[in-house]
């Protein structure tokens, strides 16, 4: 049984954080990573102590909800709040960052942006990222943590049966692989 890749590991975290979002328009999660360690995370929500979009409805101006601080900004501001350097770090976001977050990401010295879902990918943001030499990579989330544990359990059961001398398990293995869509991306 292979371990999940670093990309899947960090992207799965950003999806977990996204589930704390308080905005009804779009839920986003972000994780800042340095040397393969998560140093901060955020989701889009109101300023501390403010009312939530989920309670009061979004505060929309010019087609955007202006109440929330975006996930990427929350993650970077967490670093500034606690004095953690972001220079040379990477960021994992569930959605392609908006132009404002993109500028903050570049200015914070982030060197790579991994995103899972396209979201109105701003051409100017793409241009700025390229100019700044920030790598961008689309990483589709293939691992759901619970799903992964189920996959592990089935795999262990099959290995146990095999070690006890049961034969003819190939059909079951194939069925398990089909059910869990086993990703082959490992060891990155
Ligand atoms: Zn909102
Ligand atoms: Zn943003």
Starting from the CA of residue 69, give the closest ligand: 2
Tokens found for residue 49: 């102590």
Q: What distance in angstroms lies between residue 100's CA and the mean position of ligand 2's atoms?
A: 6
Give SS3 for 133. coil
Q: Where are the alpha helices (DSSP H) in the chain?
A: 6-18, 53-56, 71-82, 99-107, 123-131, 145-163, 170-180
Starting from the CA of residue 73, give the closest ligand: 2
Starting from the CA of residue 113, give the closest ligand: 2
Q: What distance in angstroms lies between residue 58's CA and the mean position of ligand 1's atoms?
A: 4
Q: Which residues contact 85 (CB under 8 A, 6 or more apart)?
A: 34, 79
Computed from CA positions of residues 163, 165, 170, 172, in that sequence, does the dihedral angle turn out positive or negative?
Answer: negative
Give catalytic residue positions: 72
- As residues whose CB is below 5 A from the ion ligand 2, the structure lists 70, 98, 101
Q: What distance in angstroms lies between residue 68's CA and the mean position of ligand 2's atoms?
A: 10
CA distances from 107 to 132, 137, 169 (A): 9, 19, 54
Give SS3 for 31. strand
pTM more than 0.85: no
What's the pLDDT tens digit per position in 115-127?
A: 999 999 999 999 9
What's the pLDDT tens digit per position in 129-182?
A: 999 999 999 999 887 767 777 888 898 999 999 999 998 899 998 888 888 765
- As residues whose CB is below 5 A from the ion ligand 1, the structure lists 23, 53, 58, 65
Q: Where are the alpha helices (DSSP H) in 25-70?
A: 53-56
């Amino acid at each position: 049984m292979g371990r999940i890749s670093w990309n899947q590991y960090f992207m799965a975290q950003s999806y977990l954080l996204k589930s704390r979002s308080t905005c009804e328009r779009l839920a986003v999660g972000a994780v800042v990573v340095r040397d393969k360690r998560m140093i901060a995370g955020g989701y889009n929500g109101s300023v501390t102590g403010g009312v939530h979009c989920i309670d009061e409805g979004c505060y929309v101006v010019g087609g955007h909800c202006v109440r929330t601080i975006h996930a990427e900004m929350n993650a970077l501001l967490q670093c500034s709040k606690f004095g953690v350097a972001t220079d040379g770090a990477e960021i994992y976001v569930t959605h392609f960052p908006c132009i404002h977050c993109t500028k903050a990401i570049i200015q914070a010295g982030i060197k790579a942006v991994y995103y899972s879902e396209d979201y109105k990918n701003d051409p100017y943001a793409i241009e700025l990222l390229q100019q700044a030499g920030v790598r961008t990579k689309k990483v589709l989330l293939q691992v759901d943590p619970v799903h992964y544990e189920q996959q592990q359990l089935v795999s262990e059961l099959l290995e146990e049966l095999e070690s006890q001398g049961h034969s003819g398990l190939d059909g079951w293995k194939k069925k398990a692989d089909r059910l869990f869509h086993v990703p082959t991306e490992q060891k990155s």
